[in-house]
Amino acid sequence: MLQTSSNQLPVTASGLEKFVETSQGRLVILQQINLEVASGEALAILGASGSGKSTLLGLLAGLDNASAGEVRLFGTSLSGLDEDGRAALRAGQIGFVFQSFQLLSGMTALENVMLPLELAGHKAPEQAAREALSQAGLAQRLTHYPTQLSGGEQQRVALARAFAPSPKVLFADEPTANLDAHTGEKVAELLFNLQEQNNTVLVLVTHDETLAQRCDRRLYLRDGCLESEA
């Protein structure tokens, strides 16, 4: 199921590096990252705080420029694209879930979910958003603003938003870190259910071993390098 040729892989990274120049010299955050994620796969990237997990996620999603190496999304190299090109590649195909939910406070739950659908030019964004929220168990919370929702509910809205446009790849950054164990468990349940239903590639960065266990594969980030075993 996971076997596919490299030029059709949803996400690949080769020789990926990220460093910043500081007054104390070069600070290396990531070095020689090589990675392939196959269709439908759920990959967990584990690491301690400050290990560069979020930086790697940003590079894989084309939100940041690598210092060296290459990222390919659906076979297209990101290094050949400018920011707008990368945004166009993301539109409708890539979803995100963040540790801090990143819901727009001025919008209701429904409006937040409608946003990526509208950006992707969906024909009936409201209907699709309603369905997504309903799937997330929030049919009664459509017109609530983020501040009127609990943390767990906010993350469920974020999940509904991420899955509503049926993305091919979902990048999740510590999706349960801001939640208590019980709520975190419920959110994780929803995340993996939706991933399975949609056959979405999931790239999950976390420091939570239990959450990572639910993924097909786990990689560890230590000292800027990616390792396959703990």
Determine if 54 is a binding residue for other proteins (CB under 8 A): yes
Determine if 15 is a binding residue for other proteins (CB under 8 A): no
Any idea what DSSP says for residue 149? Answer: S
CB of 147 to other proteins, least distance (A): 6
Question: What are the strands of the beta sheet with 94-97, ordered from one edge?
Answer: 94-97, 169-173, 201-206, 42-46, 217-222, 225-227
> Is the four-CA dihedral 31, 34, 39, 45 of positive or negative sign?
negative
Determine if 29 is a binding residue for other proteins (CB under 8 A): no
Choose the stretch contacting other proteins; rule: CB under 8 A; options: 12-20, 36-44, 100-108, 219-227.
100-108
Determine if 105 is a binding residue for other proteins (CB under 8 A): yes
Of 72 and 90, nearer to other proteins (C-beta) is 90
> Per CB under 8 A, which of residues 115..174 are in contact with other proteins?
115-116, 118-121, 145, 147, 173
Find out whether 6 and 12 touch, Cβ atoms under 8 Å.
Answer: yes
Determine if 80 is a binding residue for other proteins (CB under 8 A): no
- Which tokens belong to 208? 């939570």
Determine if 49 is a binding residue for other proteins (CB under 8 A): no
Determine if 63 is a binding residue for other proteins (CB under 8 A): yes
Of 69 and 146, nearer to other proteins (C-beta) is 146
CB of 3 to other proteins, least distance (A): 29
Of 143 and 197, nearer to other proteins (C-beta) is 143
Q: How far is CA 155 from CA 3, 109, 165, 178, in A?
A: 32, 11, 17, 9
Identify the residue among 58, 144, 186, 220 touching other proteins (CB under 8 A): 58
Cα separation of 192 and 161, whole Å? Answer: 15
| Continuous H helices in 81-216 | 83-90, 109-119, 125-135, 151-163, 181-198, 209-213
